[in-house]
């Protein structure tokens, strides 16, 4: 069994209930392969952490940017808590080294691992919240997640890619883009979606996300790159 003490030192959060941090890192596949271990997977903590993350990021944006509109803050929040940023943050914290996965999942280091890391990050948030309370969670975000807003704003990653791609497509082609669900998988509380963006019958690009809206934004970003219609 993994020892999480070094990870606790890294994030400067020391769990009173050590079972919570272990659960946060336990993927469902690990229990399918090791049913006798006698503890639960992280999906309930992920559900809780997702809500805590939304509240904390909303509070931070509300206080940090008093001049920004509701729509701008919504876009910034979506850019901050998407799969890419959360998985990058998790990877930067070394969370990959502590995942409890099945042998099959251990071998997959592509997109599937990105989703697992993002989900585990949310589960860790839920665990910190239960064990330490909201103020400690907020401090954790303040050190490791909220600083990423600087890059998001500088690179304009928060701009609504769907609206921008529609504007460009109408100007260049006289066509309004359409979006189609291509694939979806995962349990109800943690669905993953692949959306295609089309100009008439042309599939311009695909995007993945944990909601249809996130996948559409990813598809629009990819389509802007594919067409060379950068911001």
In the chain, DSSP assigns E strands to 178-185, 192-199, 202-209
Q: How far apart are CA 110 and CA 192, in angstroms?
A: 14
Give first-to-last CA distance, the chain, whole Å. 48
Q: How far apart are CA 101 and CA 154, in angstroms?
A: 36
In 81-191, DSSP assigns E strands to 178-185
Q: How far apart are CA 104 and CA 77, in angstroms?
A: 33
C-alpha dihedral sign at 105, 110, 112, 118: positive
Question: What 8-state DSSP symbol labels residue 190?
Answer: G
Buried b (16+ CB within 10 A) or exposed e, 177-204: bebeeeeeeeeeebebbbbbbbbeeeeb
Task: Please indicate whether residue 50 is annotated as part of the active site.
Answer: yes
Task: Please indicate whether residue 142 is annotated as part of the active site.
Answer: no
**Active-site choice (8, 33, 40, 50):** 50
Place of tokens 């109800």: 188
**Active-site choice (46, 105, 122, 131):** 122
Place of tokens 């901050």: 80
**Catalytic residue positions, numbered:** 50, 122
């Amino acid at each position: 069994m993994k020892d999480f003490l070094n990870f606790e030192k890294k994030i400067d959060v020391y769990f009173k209930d050590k079972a919570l941090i272990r659960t946060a890192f336990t993927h469902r596949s690990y229990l399918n392969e090791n049913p006798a271990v006698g503890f639960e997977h992280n999906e309930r903590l992920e559900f809780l952490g997702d809500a805590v993350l939304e509240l904390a990021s909303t509070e931070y944006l509300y206080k940090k940017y008093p001049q920004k509109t509701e729509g701008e803050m919504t876009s910034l929040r979506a850019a901050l808590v998407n799969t890419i940023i959360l998985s990058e943050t998790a990877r930067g914290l070394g969370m990959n080294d502590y995942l409890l996965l099945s042998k099959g999942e251990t071998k997959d280091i592509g997109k599937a691992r990105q989703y697992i890391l993002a989900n585990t990050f949310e589960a860790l948030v839920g665990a910190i919240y239960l064990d330490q309370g909201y103020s400690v969670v907020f401090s954790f975000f303040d050190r490791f997640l909220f600083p990423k807003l600087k890059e998001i704003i500088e690179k304009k990653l928060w701009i609504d890619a769907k609206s921008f791609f529609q504007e460009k497509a109408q100007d260049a082609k006289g066509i309004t883009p359409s979006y189609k669900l291509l694939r979806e998988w995962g349990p109800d509380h943690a669905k993953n979606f692949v959306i295609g963006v089309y100009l008439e019958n042309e599939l311009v690009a695909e995007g993945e996300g944990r909601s249809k809206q996130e996948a559409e934004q990813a598809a629009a970003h990819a389509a802007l790159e594919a067409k060379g219609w950068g911001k």
